[in-house]
Amino acid sequence: MKEKNSTTRYYSLDKASLFQQFKTSTEGLSEQDVKQRLEKDGPNALAQGKKQTIIQKFFNQFKDFMIIVLLVAAFISGVVAQEWADAALILAVVIINAVFGVFQESKAEEAIDALKEMSTPEAHVKRAGKFATVSGENLVAGDIVLLEAGDIVPADIRLLDSASMKIEESALTGESVPVEKEIDLLPDEDIPLGDRKNMAYMNSNVTYGRGLGVVVATGMKTEVGHIAGMINKAEDSSTPLQDNLNSLGKTLTWLILVIAAVIFAVGIFNNPSGLPMNELIIDMLLVAISLAVAAIPEGLPAIVTIILALGTTRMAKRKALVRKLPAVETLGSTDIVASDKTGTLTQNKMTVEKVYQYGKLQDAADEISGNDKVLQVMTFSNDTKIQADGTLVGDPTETALVQFGFDHDYQIEEELKKEPRVAEVPFDSERKLMSTIHKLANGKFLVAVKGAPDMLLQRITEIQASPDEVRKFTETDKDAILKQNKFMATQALRVLAMGYKIIDSIPQEVNSDTVENDLTFAGLIGMIDPERPEAAAAVADAKKAGIRPMMITGDHQDTAEAIAARLGIIEPGDDAAVITGAQLDQMSDKEFAKKVKNYSVYARVSPEHKVRIVNAWQKKGKVVAMTGDGVNDAPALKSADIGIGMGITGTEVSKGASDMVLADDNFATIIVAVEEGRKVFSNIQKSIQYLLSANLGEVLTLFMMTLLGWDILLPVQLLWINLATDTFPAIALGVEPTEPGIMDRKPRGRKSSFLSGGIGSAIVYQGILEGLITLGVYASALMFPVHTGNAAMHADALTMAYATLALIQLFHAFNVKSTYQSIFKIHPFKNKVFNIGVAASFIMVAATIVVPGFNSLFHVSELNLVQWLTVLGAGILMIVIVELVKLVQRSNGKK
C-alpha cells in the first residue's frame, strides 16, 4: 500500500482535545503565548526556495562537454600557438552561447514567491478574550480565528462553530462547488482533503456564512505549505530536446576527439615536412584544433535557442505563452496530456443545464415563461448581489440561478421591487433548505423555498401541474420527481428543488416549522460546471494526433466520469477507466505501473496523487504534459515534462510552476501549441542535418588533406566558415512553413532523436559528398593552376577549397528543406528569411576573398572569374547529386 504523509488528523479531535493539545481556550491565547510561539515556530509564511544568481547560471553554461573542448582549443590557439585572433573568435562564440543560456534560464521558478504573496491575508483573531485584526503572518497554532464571507482563510483551521458557512476550495482541491462546512467530528482515518468538512485551509475563500475555529497549522506546516515543499523538492526533468542535444553533443564530441587523436598520431608518425619534434607537436596540435573547430557544431546551442525563441513568438500570437524555451519543442513530442478538470476542461462556473417542470424535462436553452413559478422561486430565494455593472456576486450556485433568469429575460430587480423580501429562513446544512418571504401587491405573501430535493419533497402537499393548474401531490408525482432527480444525478448534475406557497400573513416566529410546510412543488433544476465549448473538439484532435488525453481532478467520481464521457476522453459507462485517489492509495507503485494504462480519469485525488500519476507515465518512457490552474496542481505541473498553466483562471502559483501558460484558458490552444512544437522539432532537425552534414564535410576534407600531405585549412578559416554559413541558413531553416500532415503523425516519443526519420543516413552521405567535392576542387586547382610558382599555386588551391567548402554548404541548405521531396516541388524561394540568410552568408564569405585587407587576416588569395565559376559549379553539383539520390529514394517508397 502506498504510504501516506503522517499528519495529525485534527478533523477527528473534539474541542476539548484540541484545546488541550494547543494549550488554548475559547478566550484565545495571551500575548505572551503568541510571542513565545512565534519565536519557536516562526511567522505564518512559506519558505523561500534556493535560487541561483546570474553569475552561477552563467558559469553553469560552461559545464557542457562541447564547450569545454572549445575552451581548450582557444587556450592552445592563443597560449601555445600564439594565434590570438583565432582564440578570440572561438571565445566569442562560447560567450555568446553562454549569454543565450542565461537568458533562457532567467525566467526562474516563481511558484514559491507567488505562494508567499498569496499567504499573508489579515485575520480576525481572539486573544485574551478580545477580537482584533492582525496580519496573517503573526498567527500561531492555538489562535482562535473568526471567519466571515469574503475572508481568505489565513491558516489551517479546525472549525469549532459554523453558521451556514461555505468555503471555495477549488484552487486547493479541484472541487468546483463551494464546500458546506460542519463542525461534527470525522472518523480517525485518512479522509480526502475535499471531504474534511470541519476544516478550513489556508488560501481558500469564505463565500457564505461565518465560522469560528482554532489554528492547527501555520506556514510550511499547512496544506499549502506542504505543496510548497513539494515544489521545492521536485526535480526539474530534462526535456526530450535537452536529452537529444546532450546525447548528440556527447557522441559527436567523443567521436571528434578520437578522430583528432588519430590525425595527431598519423601526423607525428609521418612527419612529411621533416620538422623538429617540438615544432611538429605544435603543428599537429593546430591541425587537431582545426579538426575540432570544424567538427564541433559550436553554434548549435545558440541556433536551437533562436529557433525556439522564434517559435515562442509565433505561439504567443496564438495565445500560448512559453516561459521556458525547451517547452516549445517538448509539446511536439507529447504522448500524454493530463488535464485538470475544473477551469481547464470546464468553465469553473456553475450553469443551469436542465429544468424539470409540468412533468417534462427540458434543456436550459428552451423557452420558459416569465410567469413560471420555478423561475421566480430560484431567483427570489437567493442571496446573489447584482452590481451596478451587472456583475453577480455571491455563491456560485446562486449566481448561476440568477444568470439563468437573465438569460430568459426575467427582470429580477424589477420583480423584487414589486414583491420585496420581508423575511427569510437562512440556509443551514442540516435541513438543506433556504426560504424567503415576499410581500405581494394584493397584500398576501409569497414563500419561496429552494433546496435538496429529498428534504423539500417531505414538505410538499401540492404540485404545479401546468402554468394554470395546481393540484394535490400524489405518490405517483413523487416517484416521477425522484426518477428525474436520479437521472440528472447520474449525469453529474447538481439538483435543486423549488417550492412555494401563498400565505395571508407572516407568522409571529419565522422559522422552518412555521414557514416551510404545505408547499407547492414548482420544479427541479439541474446544474453543472459545464465543459468548455471547444474542449471536445480539442480532445478529438489530440486523439487524432496520437496523444492520449486524461482527466485528473479533485472533484467527485460521478462528476468527473460524466464530464470525461461528454468530452470523449472515455466512452459513456466505461467505469473501468475511472479510479479515485482512495483506490490509488491501495495500490503499490509496482501494481499501479502495471495498471496505469487502464485509467483515463482520476477523481478525488490529492497533489501527491497527481505527481505519482505523472511519474508513472514518465517511467514508461512517455512524454507527459500536465495542465492545471490551482495551487494543488503546482507540484505536478513542475514534475511533468511540460506544465501548462491557465492564464485567466489560474493562480499565480500554478503559472509560476508552469513551462507554458494559455493566455485564453482555451484547451484547444494546447493542440495549436502541439502543432507548433512538432513544426519546431522538424525545423530543428533540418538545421541539425544542415550543420552536421557541413561539419562532416569539413572533417573529411581536413582528414584527407592531412593524410595526403596537402596544406590544410586553418582554424580561423574554419571558424569563419562556421560563423558565416552555419548561423543564418540554420536559423532561417527554423522558420520553414509547417509540413502538410504534421498533425496526422503519431508522437515521436522520448526515445526518438534528431537523427531519426532518415536524417542520420542523409547527414552521412551528404557530408561525404561535400568533402569529396571540396577535395576535388582542391586537386583540380593544383592540376590546372592559374598562377605559376609553388607558393601561389598552393595558396590558390587552398583558397578555392575554402570558398568551395563554404559555398557548397549554402547550396546544400536548399537540399535540406525536405528529406525526400525535390526542392523544385516545395517552392525553394518561398521562405524570404531563408533567401536573405543565404545571401548574407555568401556576402560574408566572399568579402574575406574580395575585400582588400581581409586576405592576410584569413590567409587567402584573390580568385579570378574562372576560379569563381569552378567554385559555383561545385555548389550546383551538390544539388544535382542530392536530387538524384532523392529520386531513387522516392522510387523505393520513401516519403
Least confident of 506-520, 742-756, 828-842: 742-756
Residue 109 has pLDDT above 50, yes or no: no
Q: What is the DSSP string of 127-166?
A: ETTEEEEEEGGG--TT-EEEEETTPBP-SEEEEEEEEEEE
What proportion of the chain, given as a percentage, has pLDDT over 70? 86
- In the prediction, which pLDDT does 7 show? 55
Banded model confidence at residue 433, pLDDT cuts 50, 70, 90: very high
Residue 766 has pLDDT above 50, yes or no: yes
- In the prediction, which pLDDT does 5 show? 40
- In the prediction, which pLDDT does 446 show? 96
Q: What is the DSSP string of 688-704?
A: HHHHHHHHHHHHHHHHH
Least confident of 119-123, 315-319, 352-356, 442-446: 119-123
Residue 24 has pLDDT above 80, yes or no: yes
Residue 512 has pLDDT above 80, yes or no: yes
CB 398 within 8 A of CB 349: no
pLDDT in tens, 370-403: 678 999 999 999 998 888 888 888 888 899 999 9
647 against 587, higher pLDDT: 587
- In the prediction, which pLDDT does 114 show? 43
- In the prediction, which pLDDT does 4 show? 39
Highest mean pLDDT among 76-85, 342-351, 588-597: 588-597
Which three cell numbers mark 449? 423555498
- In the prediction, which pLDDT does 117 show? 47
pLDDT in tens, 440-488: 999 999 999 999 999 999 999 999 999 889 999 999 999 999 999 999 9
Residue 110 has pLDDT above 50, yes or no: no
- In the prediction, which pLDDT does 658 show? 82
Q: Per residue in 259-286, is it b (16+ CB within 10 Å) or e — as a string? A: bbeebbeebeeeeeeeeeeeebeebbbb
Averaged pLDDT, 803-820:
91
- In the prediction, which pLDDT does 560 show? 87
pLDDT in tens, 562-581: 899 999 999 988 889 999 98
pLDDT in tens, 847-857: 999 888 787 77
- In the prediction, which pLDDT does 427 show? 86
Averaged pLDDT, 701-716:
78
Least confident of 219-228, 473-482, 711-720: 711-720
Q: Where are the domains of the chain?
A: 10-48+113-229, 351-528
Banded model confidence at residue 871, pLDDT cuts 50, 70, 90: very high
- In the prediction, which pLDDT does 93 show? 64
- In the prediction, which pLDDT does 252 show? 74
- In the prediction, which pLDDT does 36 show? 92
Residues forming a β-bridge with 501: 447
Banded model confidence at residue 108, pLDDT cuts 50, 70, 90: very low
pLDDT in tens, 278-319: 777 777 777 776 666 666 676 676 677 677 777 777 888 888
- In the prediction, which pLDDT does 394 show? 83
CB atoms < 10 A from the CB of 175, how many?
27
Least confident of 15-29, 225-239, 282-296, 299-313: 225-239
442-to-15, 105, 438 alpha-carbon distances in Å:
51, 72, 12
Distance (Å, whole) CA 675 – CA 549: 16
Q: Per residue in 851-863, is it b (16+ CB within 10 Å) or e — as a string? A: eeeebeebbbbeb
User: For residue 536, which of 574, 577, 494, 567 has the smallest C-alpha distance?
Assistant: 567
Banded model confidence at residue 48, pLDDT cuts 50, 70, 90: low
- In the prediction, which pLDDT does 240 show? 60
Residues forming a β-bridge with 534: none
Least confident of 10-19, 262-271, 848-857: 262-271
Fold of 10-48+113-229: 2.70.150
pLDDT in tens, 140-185: 999 999 998 778 888 999 999 987 888 888 767 766 678 888 888 9
Distance (Å, whole) CA 582 – CA 578: 12
Banded model confidence at residue 63, pLDDT cuts 50, 70, 90: low
Averaged pLDDT, 671-691:
86
Which three cell numbers mark 672? 495549436
Least confident of 435-449, 518-532, 643-657, 692-706: 643-657
- In the prediction, which pLDDT does 801 show? 93
Residues 6+ apart with CB under 8 A from 518: 459, 461, 462, 501
Averaged pLDDT, 317-346:
80
Active site residues: 340
- In the prediction, which pLDDT does 553 show? 85
- In the prediction, which pLDDT does 499 show? 97
SS (H, E, C) 704-747: HHHHHCCCCCCHHHHHHHHHHHHHHHHHHHCCCCCCCCHHHCCC
pLDDT in tens, 716-762: 787 788 778 877 888 888 788 877 777 877 887 777 777 777 888 99
364 against 66, higher pLDDT: 364
787 against 453, higher pLDDT: 453
CB atoms < 10 A from the CB of 205, how many?
17
813 against 396, higher pLDDT: 813
- In the prediction, which pLDDT does 749 show? 72
| pTM beyond 0.75 | no
666 against 176, higher pLDDT: 666
- In the prediction, which pLDDT does 315 show? 82
Highest mean pLDDT among 241-245, 273-277, 373-377, 395-399: 373-377
Fold of 351-528: Calcium-transporting ATPase, cytoplasmic domain N (3.40.1110)
User: For residue 682, which of 744, 760, 737, 625 has the smallest C-alpha distance?
Assistant: 737
Least confident of 110-114, 589-593, 687-691, 811-815: 110-114
Amino acid found at 841? S
- In the prediction, which pLDDT does 152 show? 82
Residue 613 has pLDDT above 90, yes or no: yes
Residues forming a β-bridge with 166: 180, 208
Average pLDDT for the chain: 83
Which three cell numbers mark 770? 561535400
- In the prediction, which pLDDT does 1 show? 36
Residue 34 has pLDDT above 80, yes or no: yes
Residue 49 has pLDDT above 60, yes or no: no
- In the prediction, which pLDDT does 648 show? 75
